[in-house]
Amino acid sequence: MANVLVRKASYNYEQLKPVFFEIIEMLAGEKIKPGNRVLIKPNMLSAAAPQDAILTHPLIIKAAVEYVLEKGARPQVSDSPAIGSFENILKVNGTRDALAGLDVICSPFKNTVSVDIGKPYGHIDIAKDAIDADVIINLPKLKTHCQMLLTLGVKNMFGCIVGFKKSQWHMRAGTDTMAFARLLVAIHQAVRPTVSILDGILALEGEGPGKRGKPRSIGVIMGSGDTFALDMAVCKMVGIDYESMPVLKVAKENNILSAYVIDGKLPAISNFHLPVPEGLIFGPRFLHNFLRRHTMPLPVCEDNLCRLCSQCWTMCPAQAITERKAGIKFDYEKCIRCYCCIEICPYGALHSRETIGGKIVRNLIDKFS
Ligand code: SF4
Ligand code: SF4
């Protein structure tokens, strides 16, 4: 039976530090030994300020680093940004300042090792620092995600795929959301974080995981040695069926979900806003590609917000975006609906829009169900 710890918390460091220390001591205290190499893996996808609620808050990272140092171990804070420099993210997010004076390595993942994650993916290059670490502290953010509904502990491990390799794997999964979820679960199982502690103090709801999402104060930190149990408990807290999250659906199919108990008080968060409904994939297999194309929400651009910064077309795995005089143009035949462009747009110019086909099918389903 997995244990999920839930504690009230704020970004006041005097209050946050003892709460964080209590959680990590209970879940991983015995596993962190003097001299251990401890990888701290926050969500550091792209440059954003703490109040945007897109990245793990710098004070949570600081608490993790201080705990590891107190144990006599060697902390390293790493992630692999989708685009831009890791150093700039540390600066903009305030992590560089928060960690000033602490003996910690902060570096982006660079070198990789090839790991067999099983069928159908086979070998995949995973950050060497993650594979070599004695202990991994996973620090996800509670936020919504256009494709995966929520991006929590399991998905945070996708950051162990380095740089543009992430795009290649998105491309390989194509428009098949469940194929991508299977990949995420397999990567998580290959890396297996020792403990996952979620920053749910200021969460992101609505059209996350990028600048289009809306910060929402929830005021909790949650931790578990079982990432799936943690993610299931978060679903319960925000009032959604855990099986509507693709990664948890896959984990259930793979029989790797455990029962869990809550230690603490899990708040009931009402009206937690989720992204535009996902595509409607049902019926015989030969119809699935057609349904994906016509019912999955489309990425769209608000030209008045676009500053032609080039980030979206640089990282689009399908090369489905081209620059125009004002704003950008999508090639929806090429687009695989990964929504990475929405995630990284620094100006919140991109969002997802339900297709006419999606609306019609959804209305029909609602009418006859
Ligand atoms: S849509 Fe966003 S990411 Fe793309 S060019 Fe415009 S501002 Fe940059
Ligand atoms: S246009 Fe956006 S959603 Fe479509 S493939 Fe490119 S990054 Fe993904």
What does the pLDDT look like over 7-50, one tens digit per residue?
Answer: 999 999 999 999 999 999 999 999 999 999 999 999 998 899 99
pTM value is 0.94
Q: How confident is the model at residue 280 (pLDDT cuts 50, 70, 90)?
A: low
Residue 234: per-residue pLDDT: 98
pLDDT grade for 284, boundaries at 50, 70 and 90: low
Please, which residues have CB within 8 angstroms of residue 213's CB and are 6 or more apart in sequence? 53, 54, 143, 144, 204, 205, 206, 207
Q: What is the CA radius of gyration of the chain?
A: 20
Residue 336 CA, closest ligand 2 atom number: 5
CA distance 133 to 136: 7
Q: Quick one: average pLDDT of 213-234?
A: 98
Tokens read off for 341: 């462009």
Provide the pLDDT for residue 19.
98
Give the Å distance between the CA of 311 and the centre of ligand 1: 6
pLDDT above 70 coverage of the chain, percent: 95
pLDDT band at 136 (very low <50, low <70, confident <90, very high): very high
AA letter at 68: V
Residues 82/314, Cβ–Cβ less than 8 Å: no
What's residue 148's pLDDT? 93
Ligand 1 and 345: CB distance under 6 A: yes
Look-up of token digits 């008045």: 304
What is the pLDDT, as a whole number, of residue 175?
Answer: 81
> Does residue 349 have its Cβ closer than 6 Å to ligand 1?
yes
Task: Determine if ligand 2 sits within 6 Å of the CB of residue 152.
Answer: no
Please report the pLDDT score of residue 130 as a whole number. 98
Atom number, ligand 1, closest to the C-alpha of residue 308: 5
pLDDT recorded at residue 5: 98
**Given this model, what pLDDT does residue 215 score?**
98
Any ligand 1 atom below 6 A from CB of 281: no
The two most distant CA atoms of the chain are separated, in Å, by 62
What confidence tens digit (pLDDT) does each residue in 330-363 have?
Answer: 999 999 999 999 999 999 999 999 888 777 777 7
d(CA 158, CA 189): 11
Mean pLDDT of 203-211: 93
Cα of 174 vs its chain's centroid, Å: 18
In 3-state terms, what secondary structure has residue 219?
strand
Ligand 1 center to 88 CA (angstroms): 18
Contacts of 72 (CB under 8 A, 6+ apart): 33, 34, 35
| CB neighbourhood size of 142 (10 A) | 29
Domains and CATH numbers, the chain: 2-264 (3.40.50.11440), 285-368 (3.30.70.20)
- Ligand 2: centre distance to CA 315 (Å): 9
**% residues pLDDT > 90 (the chain):** 81
